[in-house]
């Protein structure tokens, strides 16, 4: 028996070769069969690439920058997490979606090949957010320490190898970023980068606005830039995941809104680890040219 209130760290079970938390793997058929409405929007990411940030930007764009409306509920209630399953009474992503009318903003970490095919049959719009591998890895390491439903991250050095070998929850980062990259034109996926959002949030927010066929004033864009700054989101209880109880997200170990920077990897990788990682990266990424930046 787990300690009261604690869900415990779930083992990973492969679904078509991709390791997923057992609660997801055990409910796989219902996830795969999900049928979105054509008006639904998918926000897809590898974990820790800037999902929550993008969800907030989209919610604000849809609501013309209305901060109060966008504080109506925590992020995962406003924008359900498609594949997440928790033990009752916490609703699964699918149960939550059943209670909402389209158009909905749906979050997923599934790699392209595991996204329910009805999204593409229905020509749903999709935004993919990618973050450079080293910062993504660092962020995931701290997250796996504080998210007590994910497998134990173990020591840092070993974690780097698990990342390189695609053994973390939701599988390899490399296949994930490549999978959406090669499909982006055919599927009309908006592919954006965390580093670009940091460098010039206004430009990227406007890019998202155009993709969604929305039109908001310059003044509202400025407000959205401000409301979605790292500092403001860290202080926003409806965006900082303080809604998730400590037995699940122990934010005393590491904040969900941890650092929010580009290049933090330099504080964690030794020069040897960085060299080893880069050499392997060249091998794993050689067939594509995705313009990642590890510094801005
Ligand atoms: P760090 O751990 O590097 O701080 P996700 O939402 O996909 O789980 O990603 C979480 C990462 O995005 C965390 O990275 C978090 O701090 C960062 N993040 C969240 N909101 C942000 C914002 N408004 N600006 C910059 N980074 C943000």
Using 50, 70 and 90 to split pLDDT, how confident is the model at 279?
very high
Q: Is 233 close to ligand 1, i.e. is its CB under 6 Å away? A: yes
Q: Is the pLDDT of residue 249 over 60?
A: yes
The two three-digit tokens of residue 49, written as one number: 């690439």
Ranking 84-88, 162-166, 274-278 by mean pLDDT, the lowest is 84-88
Distance 292 CA to ligand 1 centre (A): 17
Q: 142-199 pLDDT, tens per residue?
A: 999 999 999 999 999 999 999 999 999 999 999 999 999 999 999 999 999 999 999 9
For the CA of 142, the nearest atom of ligand 1: 2
DSSP 164-192: HTT-STT--HHHHHHHHHHHTTTTTEEEE
Tell me the pLDDT band of 141, cut-offs 50, 70 and 90. very high
Number of the ligand 1 atom closest to the C-alpha atom of 232: 23
Q: What is the per-residue pLDDT for 69?
A: 98
Q: Where are the domains of the chain?
A: 12-285
The predicted structure's pLDDT at residue 11:
96
Phi, psi angle pair for 122, to nearest 5°: -90, 5
Q: What is the pLDDT, as a whole number, of residue 1? A: 37
Class of domain 12-285: alpha beta
| Res 4 pLDDT > 60 | no
Longest dimension (CA), the chain: 55
CB of 139 within 6 A of ligand 1: the answer is yes
Q: What is the pLDDT of residue 8?
A: 86
Q: What is the mean pLDDT of residues 215-231?
A: 98
| The 3-state secondary structure of 222-278, one letter per residue | HHHHHHCCHHHHHHCCCCCCCCCCCCCECCCCCCCCCCCCCCHHHHCCCHHHHHHHH
Catalytic: which of 63, 109, 161, 176? 109
Classify residue 207 as left (phi > 0), alpha (psi -120 to 50) or beta.
Answer: alpha
pLDDT at residue 6, rounded to an integer: 57
Enter the ipTM: 1.00
Reported as a pLDDT band with limits 50, 70 and 90, residue 61 is very high
Closest alpha carbon to 151 in 6, 12, 5, 44: 12
Active-site residue, 63 included: no
Residue 160: CB atoms within 10 Å: 22
- Rounded distance from Cα 176 to ligand 1 centre (Å): 18
Mean pLDDT computed over every residue of the chain? 96
Ligand 1 centroid to Cα of residue 1, in Å, is 33
> For the chain, what's the residue count?
296
Pairwise CA distance, residues 192 & 211, whole Å = 11
Q: Which of 172, 45, 211 is nearest to 115 (CA)?
A: 45
């Amino acid at each position: 028996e787990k300690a009261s209130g604690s869900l415990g760290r779930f083992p990973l079970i492969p679904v078509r070769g991709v390791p997923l938390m057992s609660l997801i793997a055990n409910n796989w058929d219902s996830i795969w069969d999900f049928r979105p409405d054509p008006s639904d929007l998918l926000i897809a990411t590898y974990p820790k690439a800037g999902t929550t940030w993008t969800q907030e930007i989209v919610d604000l764009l849809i609501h013309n920058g209305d901060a109060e409306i966008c504080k109506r509920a925590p992020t995962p209630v406003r924008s359900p997490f498609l594949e997440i399953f928790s033990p009752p009474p916490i609703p699964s992503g699918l149960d939550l979606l059943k209670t909402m009318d389209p158009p909905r903003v749906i979050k997923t970490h599934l790699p392209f090949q595991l996204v329910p095919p009805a999204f593409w049959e229905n020509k749903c719009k999709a935004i993919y957010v990618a973050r450079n591998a080293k910062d993504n890895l660092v962020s995931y390491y701290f997250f796996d320490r504080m998210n007590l439903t994910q497998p134990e991250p173990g020591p840092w050095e070993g974690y780097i190898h698990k990342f390189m070998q695609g053994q973390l929850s939701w599988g390899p980062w490399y296949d994930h970023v490549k999978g959406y990259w090669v499909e982006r034109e055919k599927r009309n996926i908006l592919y954006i980068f965390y580093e670009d959002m940091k460098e010039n949030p206004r430009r990227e927010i406007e890019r998202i606005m155009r993709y969604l066929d929305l039109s908001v004033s310059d003044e509202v864009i400025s407000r959205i830039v401000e409301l979605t700054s790292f500092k403001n989101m860290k202080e926003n209880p409806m965006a900082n995941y303080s809604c998730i109880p400590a037995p699940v997200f122990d934010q005393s170990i590491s904040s969900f809104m941890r650092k929010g920077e580009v290049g933090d990897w330099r504080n964690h990788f030794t020069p040897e680890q960085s060299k080893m990682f880069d050499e392997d990266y060249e091998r794993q990424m050689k067939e594509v040219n995705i313009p990642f930046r590890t510094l801005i």
